[in-house]
Amino acid sequence: MSGQDTVIAVAVSLCAALLSGGAAAQGVTRASCGTAWTGWVKEANPSKNPCSKNCVRGERLGARTYGKGDKTQYDVQYQCYSGEAIETGYPLIKGSPAERGAPQGAWIGWDEMFGGPDRVAVDDRWKPALLALATIVRESPALKDLGGFYPQMFASADASAQPVASGELRVDPWWPYAVEPDPRAKPGEKRFRVKPNYVMNGPGGFSLYINWLPNGPHGRADGLDKAEWMRDAEGEFFLLPPSKRQIDGFPVIAGYLFVTAAGKPPLFVPVSQERAYKAAIRWAQGMIKEAGVTQNSNNEVLANFNSPQMKKLRRQVIEEAAARYKDPAKSAAARAKAEADDREQEREIREIAGRQAASSPITKAARETIARLEAKLGTLSAAERRAPAHVKLVPGAFFDREFVAAGAPGAVPLMQYNKRFFDPGQRNSPQLLVMSTDSREDFPRPEKQSLVRRVEIAITEQTDWRKAAQLLK
């Protein structure tokens, strides 16, 4: 295997590990540092890193428990790896997101999750998996204390989605003032509903997307960023910096937490240098063609400006300017000025129309870009053409990306969604879980956010996603 072939193999293996909860979830090769226990803590999925210095925490391996109920303590074992450190400052919400001292709320309409009043019924094929996922979310430590809110779960599935059916679980933490006793409650039953005047004006909340591929980054995160040239007959591709944060052993990428089953194909795969170069060249060629179209349009503008109908309208505008004044001298001056303005406008239009498309700045820059990229592509060996493409930003340039080697300062890999990730034979089964997750850049003081926002963040950070991953196909 050549050196470039090795690069390709490594890149693909890193992508595979990136979204299968594996050891390379940071996007870099990491050696094992052994395992470590957290010691007794109150959280089943603590944020503590028990690994030795210069090692980062990997997947959760197991846990021991002591005590019962609210007094349960956990001693959690994690795999440890060397390599790039995970970003610090997380989790954003430590402990319960509930309002301290607030009256306890209750779940609303749990038995109506699959199609209560005014909701579309869910396909029966999805109900078992959705119910299992919903139960895991409901058991999240984030929803153990319902102080100050009433959570309501919604479930939906779209059987027509492509390439496989998709679904969503949503948790809306309703404000107490928007909730009232449900008149359908049986004697002695504590049942609540959302007041009719609030049904269409909800608080928003947590969403778990199933088999959904984000089209761009969330919040202020980097990743999944696209430019006009990042597309071809095979589809779109994008910039994808390595993940620097994990939740429950799964990577946070572009502001989203991606949860997949172990052993799945990688969700992201690299774009080859040859494909990226050719896409950029085609884009520049399109810019030249567009400049020619613009030139033709400018010629049409000039022809229309001097058409009989337009000349009549232009003369009418000039005479209207003169008619504003009763004084003959002022009227003549106004006519002269209007005629001068009309001549200047015609001169500008003729000047623009007279320019050759080939001499436009856009055409010149596009041709220089094409020549440079074609020359560089021509120097690449077959192995280099197959190697993963990396680019860095060149601010202010016509083509504002420069192809660079992996590991170069500012280098970001070009990636695409793997068309082989979804198994068409499992079309009506959950295969991928995605949820947005905020960063410290989005919320420097998350503890000061609204209760609804705190609950949303806490569900993402505190739910047992490894257990959820076992339900995926």
pLDDT in tens, 197-217: 998 888 989 999 999 999 999
Q: In the predicted model, is pLDDT for residue 27 greater than 50?
A: no
Q: How confident is the model at residue 8 (pLDDT cuts 50, 70, 90)?
A: very low
For residue range 263-310, list pLDDT tens digits in order: 999 999 999 999 999 999 999 998 888 765 455 556 666 777 788 888
Top-confidence residue, 450 or 289: 450
User: What average pLDDT does the structure give for the chain?
Assistant: 84
Q: In the predicted model, is pLDDT for residue 343 greater than 80?
A: yes
Q: Which of 12-21, 285-294, 336-345, 428-437 has the lowest mean pLDDT?
A: 12-21
pLDDT at residue 396, as a whole number? 86
Q: How confident is the model at residue 433 (pLDDT cuts 50, 70, 90)?
A: very high
Measuring CA to CA, which residue among 223, 270, 232 is closest to residue 385?
A: 270
Across the range 254-264, mean pLDDT stands at 94
Other beta carbons less than 10 A from residue 185's beta carbon: 12
Phi, psi (degrees; rounded to nearest 5) at 289: -60, -40
Collapsing DSSP to helix, strand or coil, 185 comes out as coil
For residue range 135-174, list pLDDT tens digits in order: 999 999 999 999 999 999 988 888 888 899 999 999 999 9
pLDDT at residue 185, as a whole number? 87
**Percent of all residues in the chain with a pLDDT value above 90, rounded to a whole number:** 48
Residue in this structure with the two tokens 């490894």, named with its chain if needed = 466
Top-confidence residue, 468 or 356: 468
Quote the Cα angle for 19-25-27, to 5°: 105
